[in-house]
Amino acid sequence: MIKLLRHNEINKVRWDECVKKSFNGNVYALSWYLDIVHRNWDALVENDYERVMPLTSSKKFGLSYMFQPFFVQQLGVFSSTQLSQETVDNFIKAIPQEYRLIQYRLNSYNKVNYEADDIVRHRNVELDLIYDYQYLYNNYNNNTKRNLAKAENAGLSIVYDIDPEVIVNIFRNNKGKNVQHWQDKEYDRLLNLIHTAISYKCCFTIGINDLENNIIAGAVFMHSHDRLIFLFSGSDERHKDKHALTMLLDNVIREYSETQYTLDFEGSDNEGLARFYKGFGGNEVFYPELKCNNLKGILKFIYKLMRK
């Protein structure tokens, strides 16, 4: 039986045990991660924590809705046994009717009917690192190999365990200037998330120095369930011709080659980013988003106009 548990009813020890032993578990679904990205999350739990599904909801203007928190790509149903489409459907049906709007991303192992009106397909790119580095390098496309050579010729070097705030500041001073919906609270939450993950020994940072030992790019990786997640990065646009992120990702691939890890590029539906990630030999993997509008009458009409 699937039960709805409010946040204060969740046994987080049992929750984390379920997520950790799940064949499709990920770092996003661990209780400490959810507590940071959305502190009042609720849950659907089957029987005695055999399968679980976090619910990230909020309320605005008196309306309850479900949404995908920042810094979380995939949630959905987690289980130690294989999941049928029927099981996933049962969890979806158990989502409380009180949520009038739903925009919630499940994980790539959650089988759904992609033809359904309330399901949207999203693209991820992943790279299996079980092979030796030379094999992986040979699968880079020519553009990635050229850019890697440019980075090496520019005299760039790798630096490990850099301060997360350096990476965040590089992002804020460059690409972040065009990300209007991220305010101080989002960046503070991100830094809290990174520092907490480091304390749990499931996160590392890496950067790229130029010839003057200035950090011109950096990235944050989460690791859990044999997955390396490329969570966040920043790159100084003044040095974009040096292709620092290409060197950074190549270094991670080299360091983790011949392991059980899968490199999860965490995206993207953006064609340019997807092309960049696939340049390292990555493969497309798709995952579903549940998208429902249960508003009534004029509210539904106004919402549709606002989304155009």
Q: pLDDT tens digits for the chain (308 residues)?
A: 999 999 999 999 999 999 999 999 999 999 999 999 999 999 999 999 999 999 999 988 788 999 999 999 999 999 999 999 999 999 999 999 999 899 999 999 999 999 999 999 999 999 999 999 999 999 999 999 999 999 999 999 999 999 999 999 999 999 999 998 899 999 999 999 999 999 999 999 999 999 999 999 999 999 999 999 999 999 999 999 999 999 999 999 999 999 999 999 998 899 999 999 999 999 999 999 999 997 765 455 444 533 44
CATH superfamily of 130-260: Gcn5-related N-acetyltransferase (GNAT) (3.40.630.30)
Burial of 134 (0-12, 13-18, 19+ CB in 10 A): exposed
Q: Is 104 strand, coil or helix?
A: strand
Domain boundaries, the chain: 2-122+287-307, 130-260
The one-letter code for the residue type at 232 is F
Instruction: Decide if 220 contacts 229 (C-beta within 8 A).
Output: no
The two domains 2-122+287-307 and 130-260 share their CATH topology (first three levels equal): yes
Burial of 238 (0-12, 13-18, 19+ CB in 10 A): exposed
Q: Using CA atoms in the order 33, 166, 216, 229, what is the torsion angle rounded to 10 degrees?
A: -10
Instruction: Decide if 98 contacts 64 (C-beta within 8 A).
Output: yes
The one-letter code for the residue type at 27 is V
CATH number listed for the domain at residues 2-122+287-307: 3.40.630
